[in-house]
Every structure is written in C-alpha cells, then in structure tokens.
Amino acid sequence: MKKFDPEQAVTEARREFGEHGGVTPSIERSSTFTVMEPGVMPEIFSGKRGPDRGGCYLYSRHFNPTVDVLDRYLAAMEGMEFAVCTASGMSAIVCSLLQLCQQGDHIVAGNMVYGGTHALLKELLPQMGVTTTFVRPDDTESFERAIRPNTRVIYAETVGNPTLPVADIPALGSLARARGITLVVDNTFTPMIVSPARLGAHVVVYSMTKFINGASDMIAGCICCSRDFGHALYDLHTGRVMLLGPTIDPRMAFDIIQRLPHLGLRMREHSRRALAIAERLSALGVKVIYPGLPSHPQHELFKTMANEDYGFGGMLAIDCQTAKRAEQLLSVLQNQEKFGLIAVSLGYFDTLMSCSSSSTSSEISAEEQSQIGLSPGLVRLSVGYTGALEARLEQVERAVRQVGLVAR
Ligand code: PLP
C-alpha cells in the first residue's frame, strides 16, 4: 500500500481562505441562510440541489460553511471521502451505529471499549432491539465466531480503553468485507498515528474532545466515512445526525480547524514522551502497558499498522494491582511531584491520570472487569508534553519508588 501521511494530507487540504482572503477560514454563525430565488428552496429540500450543486446553504443543522471546512480537513486526514462533525464523541458513535443497525440487528464489539460505549452497547441499544456480543479485541477469530446472520457491524477501538489492546484492523476489515458487514473503528487514542480506513475500516469515529482538539476545552466528535454514508446521516427523512441533531457549533468547528495544523507535531511529542516514560518504568520493573514496548503483545502488529514517524501514542497504563496503591500513586504524582492532574479524559498538553476501573470504565461491572482483565489498580495516563522530559522522568521514578512499586 502507498505510504500515507495524514499531516501532509491535511496540509494539502488546507487551502480555504476566509471571506476577505483571511488566512483562517471565516466563522459563519448563521443558523439559517437567505435563498435568493424562492424556486430553489423546494429543490434544496428534495435533495436536487445542495451548497455544492447549484443551491445554497439552508440551515446549519444540515450544512454550515465553517463546519464543512472542518469536515473536509478531517476527511483528508483519514484519506476518506467525507466527514461529519458532531457535538460529542458519543453522538458520533451512536449516530453511526443507529444508521447502520435497526431493530433485530446485531453488533460484534471488542470488550475493552470506553465505558460510555460499553453502556451504549450493553444497556441502551438492547432497549431498541440491537444486541451486542463482546469479544476479546485482540483476537480476530473470536470476532468471526461471534458473527450471526443478523450481524451488521464489527466495532473496535484501534487501541482499547483502558488496557490498550490493539485491534488487528486489516484482519477485521477483511473479515467484515467477506461477510458484508461494516467495520466501525474508534480511533480516538491514535489520530494520525493510525489511519483505520487505509487499513480496511468503513467508518472511523473520533471523540475530538481528546487529542484532536488537544486543549481539553470542548466536547466534540466526528464520523469519517464514504460520501454515501455521510449523505445518509444527513438525509432529511432518516438521517441520524439530521434528525437526532447533534450538530457541532461553528465556533467549535473553527477552534478545531485552528488546532489541526499542529496535531501531527503534538502526536509525535505525546508519543516520544510516553515511550520514554514507559521505557523508564519498565526498566525499573514496574508493570507498564504501552504499545511501543516490545513486551506489549501487539507491539509488532501496531508497527505494521502505524503511519511512519508518529510513534505509538500518548496513552500508557501502570498496573498498581490494588485501588489503594493506585490512589497513592495518583496522589504523589499530582500533589507532591506536580507530574500531572488527576482527571478523566485524555489528549491534553498536561498529563491526565485516572484509575480507570472506578472512573471511565465504571459502567463495566466489577465481575466483567475481572473477566476482561481490568485490574482495580490500573492507572491510565495520557502523557502530556509540558515540562522538561528529564524532570518528568525523575518525578515518575520518585513516585513509583515512594509507593512501593519498585524496591527503594
Ligand atoms: N471514545 C473513546 C475512546 C473515549 O475515550 C471517549 C471519552 O472518553 C469517547 C469515545 C466519548 O467521547 P465524548 O466524551 O467526546 O463524547
């Protein structure tokens, strides 16, 4: 396959000027737009004309010029035809799945997914007659065994939240194609690092609340897909984005447009720091999970899937075994060493840390957590890039020694 560089793809797409030739695109805040000739209005409603087909913009829940700019940049980043921005990562996930599944349909999903997604699949969608079988995310055969005649979607996170198993996207893509199923991949942890559509995914979803925006100051999501799927999401009669209505605010879209040009730089630095910390912890004998370490079971697979020079991502996990020890570590890292902040979420320029089993994965029952190997003492870190790296390494080393994760 031809080498793909998402950063270059975004750079080439970024040729859209503001209204007066501005170097930034303009923010179009209108909720509604003036139709100059009344006869055009019915043609827009009947789908004959759109802003790109001799019509004009109509209403911002449908299309908005500023949001369209971001959509185009994101589609370029993924090497896909179309992107639909949404008001949150969850709305991107739920609209995609509801567009693909109807009552009586079935999904096969990795069992190590974000807690909100787990709750959606396990508790909410069954109320609408859509059921899910959960399987090990790193075992393609278990996905295959779980497929039924009514399976419509295979759902995986590129790097699963929070224990960081890596899905074999090329294998899942081949499986999905062979069985006429849609592969939906949540790539929130690894934008630019992995390009799932280039590896066989049909739909790629993001929480843009995380790395893509990078400043932890907004909630946003997106669905990258084919033109047909994008138009289906906006269909006036059945489009899940059109009718459920989680459109993104153009001001938010503008903020993300301004941050995409340095996403590549940021991802490389998150990766460089996370690898250095993972290597230091591993050398000290701490149980650390990071796809960039040869000890990670899918280290080699990750290398075959990743775009060149972006590293292995900013997420790593430390298994402290017990919740008490995890809390001690978090407290020392935040309050004593000033290494990072105890907070959920990820993709911020500072390090964010949380104990997953009692926070972002708390929707998964304790019994299930133990079945899927999620330790109550697992601390998930989203490694930031502030401060001198050497000082950060010293902080983390002192902290793991202090709480007894290594002999003093
Ligand atoms: N996907 C992953 C992997 C996440 O970690 C999260 C949130 O933490 C989401 C989706 C949901 O995103 P949002 O909070 O933007 O709705």
Residue 197 lies in a domain: yes
What integer pLDDT is reported at residue 408 of this predicted model?
A: 65
Task: Among 185, 207, 244, 315, name the best residue to mutate to test ligand 1's pocket (greatest count of ligand atoms within 8 A of Cβ).
Answer: 207
What's the 34 CA to ligand 1 centre distance in angstroms? 36
* Residue 407, in any domain of the structure: no
* 219 and 340 housed in the same domain: no
In the block, residue with structure tokens 């501005």? 22
Helix runs in 120-183, H state only: 125-127, 140-146, 169-179
Length of the chain equals 408
User: Which protein residue has the closest C-alpha to ligand 1 atom 13?
Assistant: 89
Between 6-13 and 65-78, two packed helices, what is the crossing angle to 10 degrees? Answer: 150
Atom of ligand 1 nearest to the CA of 92: 16
pLDDT reported for residue 281: 98
- Output the ligand 1 site: residues, CB below 6 A: 88-90, 114, 116-117, 157, 161, 186, 188, 207, 209, 219, 221, 360
End-to-end CA gap in the chain: 49
**Average pLDDT of the residues in 380-406:** 97
Q: How far is ligand 1, taken at its centre, from the CA of residue 382, in Å?
A: 13
- Is residue 246 within 8 Å of residue 99, measured between CB atoms? no
Which amino acid residue places its CA nearest to atom 15 of ligand 1? 89
Distance 93 CA to ligand 1 centre (A): 9
Cβ atoms of 158 and 166 within 8 Å: the answer is yes
Q: How far is the CA of 328 from the centre of ligand 1 (A)?
A: 26
Interval between CA 394 and ligand 1 midpoint (Å): 31
Output the CA 309–ligand 1 centroid distance in Å.
Answer: 25
Please report, for the domain that includes residue 179, its CATH number.
3.40.640.10
Residue that wins the pLDDT comparison between 407 and 400: 400
Q: With bands split at pLDDT 50, 70 and 90, how would you rate the model's confidence at 1? A: low
Residues 243-268 pLDDT 10s: 999 999 999 999 999 999 999 999 99
151 or 364, greater pLDDT: 151
Nearest-CA neighbor of 330 among 246, 403, 248?
403
- Measured CA to CA, the distance from residue 375 to residue 357 in angstroms comes to 7
Taking residues 56-78, what's their average pLDDT? 95
Which residue, 399, 402, 302, is CA-closest to 353?
Answer: 399
Is a pLDDT exceeding 90 seen at residue 302?
yes
Q: 199 C-alpha vs ligand 1 centroid, how far in Å?
A: 22
Q: Output DSSP code: residue 262.
A: G
Nearest CA to ligand 1 atom 12: 89
Nearest to 113 by CA among 141, 133, 134: 134
DSSP assignment string, 78-99: HT-SEEEEESSHHHHHHHHHHH
Model pLDDT, residue 312: 98
Mean pLDDT of 43-60: 87
Residues 303-327: tens digit of each pLDDT: 999 999 999 999 999 999 999 999 9
With respect to residue 307, please indicate whether it lies within any of the assigned structural domains.
yes
Q: Is 13 helix (H, G, I), strand (E, B) or coil?
A: helix
Does position 371 have pLDDT exceeding 90, yes or no?
no
Among 220, 242, 261, the domain-final residue is 261
User: Is 205 or 1 the better-scoring residue by pLDDT?
Assistant: 205
The two three-digit tokens of residue 135, written as one number: 């399987």
Residue 358: the pLDDT is: 86
In the chain, % of residues over pLDDT 90: 88
Q: Where are the alpha helices (DSSP H) in 102-261?
A: 115-119, 125-127, 140-146, 169-179, 196-199, 227-233, 240-244, 250-259
Q: What is the dihedral of CA 196, 88, 378, 120, to 10 degrees?
A: -90
Which residue puts its alpha carbon closest to atom 2 of ligand 1? 114
Tens digit of each residue's pLDDT (9 = 90 or more) over 340-354: 999 999 999 999 999
69 and 172 both lie in a single domain: yes
Number of domains in the chain: 2
Residue 126: asked if its preceding bond is cis (omega within 30°), the reply is no
pLDDT score, position 377: 94
Which protein residue's CA is at the shortest distance from atom 4 of ligand 1?
A: 114
User: Which residue minimizes the CA distance to atom 8 of ligand 1?
Assistant: 345
Q: Mean pLDDT across the stretch 369-377? A: 88
Which atom from ligand 1 is nearest to the alpha carbon of 219?
15
pLDDT of 28 above 90: yes
Under DSSP, is residue 123 helix (H, G, I), strand (E, B) or coil?
helix
CA of residue 7 to ligand 1 center, whole Å: 23
346 and 300: one domain? yes
What's the pLDDT score for residue 372? 84
Average pLDDT over residues 74-95: 98
Domain holding 397, by residue range, is: 264-402
The SS3 assignment for 196 reads helix
135-162, pLDDT tens digit by residue? 999 999 999 999 999 999 999 999 998 9
49 pLDDT band, cuts 50/70/90, is: confident
pLDDT for position 47: 79
CA dihedral sign of residues 55, 20, 73, 91: negative
Average pLDDT value for residue range 387-404: 98
* Reported confidence tier of residue 72, pLDDT bands at 50, 70, 90: very high
Q: Ligand 1 mean position to 88 CA, how many Å?
A: 8
Atom from ligand 1 closest to the CA of residue 209 = 15
Does residue 246 sit within a domain? yes
Q: Return the C-alpha torsion angle 193, 198, 203, 206, nearest 10.
A: 10
- Give the position, in ligand 1's atom list, of the atom nearest the Cα of 221: 15
Please report the atom of ligand 1 found closest to the CA of residue 161. Answer: 3
Residues 220 and 289 in one domain: no
95 and 145 inside one domain: yes
Confidence of residue 53 (pLDDT cuts 50, 70, 90): confident
Instruction: Report the CATH number at residue 374.
Output: 3.90.1150.10
Which residue in this structure is represented by tokens 């890596």? Answer: 166
pLDDT (tens digit per residue) in 202-231: 999 999 999 999 999 999 999 999 999 999
Asked if 213 and 329 sit in the same domain, the reply is no
End position of a domain, from candidates 261, 276, 297: 261
**Ligand 1 mean position, distance from CA 72 (Å):** 22
Asked whether residue 54 carries a pLDDT value surpassing 90, the answer given is: no
Query: Which tokens belong to 239?
Result: 């489009």
